[in-house]
Amino acid sequence: MKRIIIGIDGLSSCGKSTLAKALAKSLHYAYLDSGAMYRAVTLYFLENNIDYENPEAVAEALQQIEIHFERIDGQNRTFLNGRDVEHDIREMRVSEHVSPVSTISAVRRAMVAQQQAMGKRRHIVADGRDIGTVVFPDAELKIFLIADADVRTSRRHLELASKGIDAEWGEIQRNLLERDRIDSGRADSPLRKADDAVVIDNTLLSEEQQLEKALALAKERM
C-alpha cells in the first residue's frame, strides 16, 4: 500500500487527537500531535517568565526548546527538553495562553519546521489547526472535524477530569470559544478548512463510528 500523510484539522476539543491516535494505531502509522507542541512552547514560556509579546525574548527562547514524542505504555507522551510534560501541558493555565502564543509567527515557523521534518518519511497522522493548509498541504487525506460547542465542552470537561484537573464547565466553554476565535482570526496560518478536506461532523458519532469513517477514507487514498 502507498505511504500517505493524513492531516486532521478542526475546532478546539473536536476530538482531533482522539481520532488521530486511533487512526495511527489502526494503520501502524506515527502520530504527530501538533497541538501538544504549541502547548509545550507555552508551558516553557510560562515556567521561564518569557514575555511572549517581546519578539527578541521569543526568538531567544525558541532556540532553547526541543520537543519530541515517545510512546510509553501505549500512550503518546510529549517531552520538552527531555522532560515528560504530558500532564502539565493540559492544565487550564496553559490552555488560557496557548492560542495567543500560537499566533506568534516565529513560534509557528519553528513548530512547522519541526513538524515538516517529522513528516518527510510520510507514513504519519498529524492533527492540529493548520495541518492541511500549511504544514502538509500535499497530504493525501485531509479531514476537518466539527462538533456542537456544548458537546465539545462536555468532552473537554471529561478529559480534564480524567487527568485530575478541576475546571468549571462554563470556564471551559469560554476558553474553547475564545481559542476558536483567536485561531480563526490570526494573521499567520489561521484555522480554516482546506479546499480538498473532507468534513466530518462527530457531534452524534461515537469514537468508533468516526474512526470507521476515517479508516474508509484512508484506505481509499492508500
Containing structural domain, residue 35: 5-221
Helix (H) or strand (E) holding 9: strand 5-10
Question: Residue 73 and residue 4: Cα distance in Å, rounded?
Answer: 26
Residue-level pLDDT at 75: 79
**Residues in Cβ contact with 152 at an 8 Å cutoff, skipping those fewer than 6 apart:** 11, 12, 13, 14, 176
Residue-level pLDDT at 151: 95
Output DSSP code: residue 98: H
The number of distinct structural domains making up the chain is 1
Name the residue among 213, 222, 161 with its Cα closest to residue 1.
222
- Domain with 43 in it: what CATH number? 3.40.50.300
The pLDDT tens digits along the chain (222 residues) read 888 999 999 988 899 989 999 999 999 898 998 889 999 999 999 999 999 999 999 999 999 999 988 878 877 889 999 999 999 999 989 999 998 999 899 999 999 998 998 888 788 999 988 899 999 999 999 999 999 999 999 999 998 888 888 889 999 999 999 988 888 887 777 888 999 999 999 999 999 999 999 999 999 999
pLDDT on residue 214: 97
Report the b/e string of 175-193 with b at 16+ CB within 10 A.
Answer: bbeebbebbeebeebebbb
Q: Which three cell numbers stand for residue 191?
A: 484555522
